Amino acid sequence: MAHTFRRCSLALIFIIMWLLIKAKIDECKKGDVTVKPSRVILLGSTVNISCSLKPREGCLSYSRRNKLILYKFDRRINFHHGHSLNAQVTGLPLGTTLFVCKLACINSNEIQICGAEILVGVAPEQPQNLSCIQKGEQGTVACTWERGQDTHLYTEYTLQLSGPKNLTWQKQCKDHYCDYLDFGINLTPESPESNFTAKVTAVNSLGSSSSFPSTFTFLDIVRPLPPWDVRIKFQKASSMSRCTLYWRDEGLVLLNRLRYRPSNSRHWNMVNVTEAKGRHDLLDLKPFTEYEFQISSKLHLYKGSWSDWSETLRAQTPEEEPTGMLDVWYMKRHIDYNRQQISLFWKNLSVSEARGKILHYQVTLQELTGGKVMTQNITGHTSWTTVISRTGNWAVAVSAANSKGSSLPTRINIMNLCEAGLLAPRQVSANSESMGNILVTWQPPRKGLSAVQEYVVEWRQLHPGDDTQIPLNWLRSPPYNVSALISENIKPYTCYEIRVYALSEDQGGCSSILGNSKHKAPLSGPHINAITEEKGSILISWNSIPVQEQMGCLLHYRIYWKERDSNSQPQLCEIPYRVSQNSHPINSLQPRVTYVLWMTALTAAGESSQGNEREFCLQGKANWMAFVAPSICIAIIMVGIFSTHYFQQKRRHSCPWTGS
């Protein structure tokens, strides 16, 4: 495309130049311009340009009145008074330069006398890398070569081919950028070892040059057409993914090469086959995998060139029975004194393990004491929940099935994962590593270390209230590891509850911590929804901050209060954050004083803005009233005199932890 555009651009330049010259050179009626030694010169040469008037074509009868001016394009480069002008010009650039001679008379416009264009170029270089090819047994012979540097002149290329019995073919190309010619003849395989010789000659006004001869035979230059009608057939009864590849070729093809790869791979597997006759068996392909296949052909083992690759054939290998075993994990939740809920979770098999489309999972629940299968279930999900008795020893087995069969079942015994306190990992910490990673570290249990068979790190998004629908994630770690980098389903500005389990053969211990990969101050504070009086103190109740506004793991709540209309600094009470907590008492407040109260929340990155404000007034034994600000606390007239220091506000209250 670029080559064609270049040719069109050059043709357009020549047309424009010709129109300019035609407009500027008007048949030279009043005089002549001569150029010596030639109007076509070698780069770096000097030319002499002469301009002369014809008889009686001057301004007046006096020659000194004539002023001849020589222009190079539109720039004046020389002038002379008289009937003629001579100028020597050097340093002309490659390409075409236009010179115009004009006559200037007193009190009149300049008159164009004549002009000339000078072409500056170079002799053609010797054409290099001449090569010829015939595409297909029925194709025609075409040759290409490298021209060398541009001559900037009209250059003619002649391609000649000589063969047996003094046969000669010749083609010419007059294109300025010619580097390809097709003879339009077909070489036949009757004499495959007969020699042919090609040569290309370039000629222009400044010289000529010929390439070195290129000698070849039919087998050297005929490139077969790419194989076509490529198809594949899989062996149905095979225990491994075997297939036969079929294709069609030209009749003289002797050698084929095949390449194939999974569609998601960048690396090809290569196979060379001789006299395949359009078929070849491939072994040990991965099951249930889309492959790409391509084939190329060649006429001779040592001579000639390979064909282009065939069009890509894409095909998926058949399914086979799954391999590997599911990674299964579980959670227990007590329902009442007699029942417990068991939630099973498992991870998808990898593509190489599934070896097909997983249609369903089979879950078997068994009570080990009686040895009877209690429940069998088939599900298309990667989790399953059931309710069982809290008594007895229970085990489950989970397997995956495709159209060809099932994987080996994964068997686990249901036990209390946190029952063995001596197995609980120590000093568990969770630190942000990057936007989507949390590094969890721990110390082995002090006792029972030798019994630890593996650690399991479990995490799920912290969600106050019902968390049964929150996705569960986990990974397993060998007993010699005391750290794990968790990254699956980790989002920034989200708090995760992380548990580390140490598991032995029949018991487990656990420790937990909260962690996030990135945090900032919460977007809002808690919303106070109620204030009640209880025996001289008040109980503050609030709604939890929406999860999407917490922006990480909450560390503390702060409760602020001060007297209404007071300019003093508020007092505050800071309490540790607990997931289930939504109320807290405050005591030692003064009765019959109206207070304004609000709350904030803190992460490791900072404090939120304040939540809503509430006003309250402690009434003593009677219930006190709370209103959304502004509100009025109606005081009850009391008999007696209160000392003034009774109403003085303390600067800060201690806030002992009290359960709600």
Residue 637 pLDDT greater than 50, yes or no: no
Q: Cβ-count burial of 272 within 10 angstroms (0-12 exposed, 13-18 middle, 19+ buried)?
A: exposed
Kindly state whether residues 239 and 290 are assigned to the same domain: yes
Tell me which of 125-129, 226-230, 268-272, 653-657 is least confident.
653-657
Predicted confidence at residue 60, as pLDDT, reads: 67
What is the pLDDT, as a whole number, of residue 64? 64
Model confidence band, residue 368 (pLDDT cutoffs 50, 70, 90) = confident
Strand order in the sheet with 222-223: 180-182, 141-146, 128-135, 222-223
Q: Which two tokens stand for residue 100?
A: 């115009």
| Most confidently predicted of 17-31, 432-446, 464-478 | 432-446
Does residue 91 lie in a domain region?
yes
Q: Looking at the structure, do residues 237 and 296 belong to the same domain, yes or no?
A: yes
Question: 84-89 and 67-72 as β-strands: parallel, antiparallel, unpaired?
Answer: unpaired
Which of 52-66, 408-422, 604-618 is least confident? 52-66
Average of per-residue pLDDT across 178-188: 92
* Whether residue 72 is found in the same domain as residue 99: yes
Q: What is the pLDDT of residue 373?
A: 67
Backbone angles phi, psi at 423, to 5 degrees: -95, 0
CATH at 271: 2.60.40.10
- 218-259 per-position pLDDT tens digit: 999 999 999 999 999 988 755 566 889 999 999 899 999 999
Least reliable range by pLDDT among 77-86, 603-612, 649-658: 649-658
Phi, psi of 13 (to 5 degrees): -65, -45
pLDDT confidence of residue 261: 95
> Do residues 490 and 437 lie in contact, with contact meaning Cβ atoms separated by under 8 Å?
yes
Give 139-142's long-range contacts (Cβ < 8 A, gap of 24+).
139/186, 139/222, 139/225, 140/182, 140/183, 140/184, 140/185, 140/186, 141/182, 141/183, 141/185, 141/186, 141/187, 141/221, 142/180, 142/181, 142/182, 142/183
Boundary (domain end) residue, out of 464, 492, 515: 515
In 305-425, the DSSP E strands lie at 313-316, 328-334, 339-346, 360-367, 372-379, 383-389, 394-402, 405-406, 410-414
**344 in a structural domain:** yes
Task: Say if residue 484 is in the same domain as residue 541.
Answer: no
User: What are the CA-CA distances from residue 42 to residues 73, 524, 568 (Å)?
Assistant: 20, 84, 98
In the predicted structure, residue 659 carries a pLDDT above the cut 70: no
Same domain for 214 and 169:
yes
503, 532: one domain? no
477 Cβ contact partners less than 8 Å away, ≥ 6 residues apart: 454, 455, 456, 457, 484
Residue 418 domain flag: no
Higher pLDDT, 653 or 541: 541
Q: Do 450 and 496 belong together in one domain?
A: yes
As a whole number, mean pLDDT of residues 11-37 equals 67
Task: Please check whether residue 649 lies inside any domain of the structure.
Answer: no
Q: Is residue 628 included in any domain, yes or no?
A: no
Shared domain for 217 and 189, answered yes or no, is yes
From edge to edge, which strands make up the β-sheet containing 84-89? 31-36, 47-53, 84-89
Q: What is the rounded average pLDDT for all residues in the chain? A: 85
Tally the domains of the chain: 6
Residues 174, 253 share a domain: no
Residue 432 lies in a domain: yes
| Identity at 475, one-letter amino acid code | L
pLDDT band at residue 93, thresholds of 50, 70 and 90?
very high
Same domain, 234 and 305: yes
Question: What would the pLDDT profile of 291-316 be if each residue is shown by its tens digit?
Answer: 999 999 999 988 999 999 999 999 99
C-alpha–C-alpha distance, residues 265 and 285, integer Å: 14
Domain shared by 308 and 386, yes or no: no
Classify residue 286: in a domain, yes or no.
Answer: yes
Domain boundary among 291, 316, 341: 316
362 falls within a domain: yes
342 and 363 inside one domain = yes
Both tokens of 13, joined, read: 């330049």
Range of the domain at 160: 128-222
**Which residue among 350, 383, 411 closes a domain?**
411
Strand bridging mode 128-135 / 222-223? parallel
Q: Determine the pLDDT at residue 484.
A: 94
Q: How confident is the model at residue 63 (pLDDT cuts 50, 70, 90)?
A: low
pLDDT at 621: 52
pTM for this prediction: 0.65
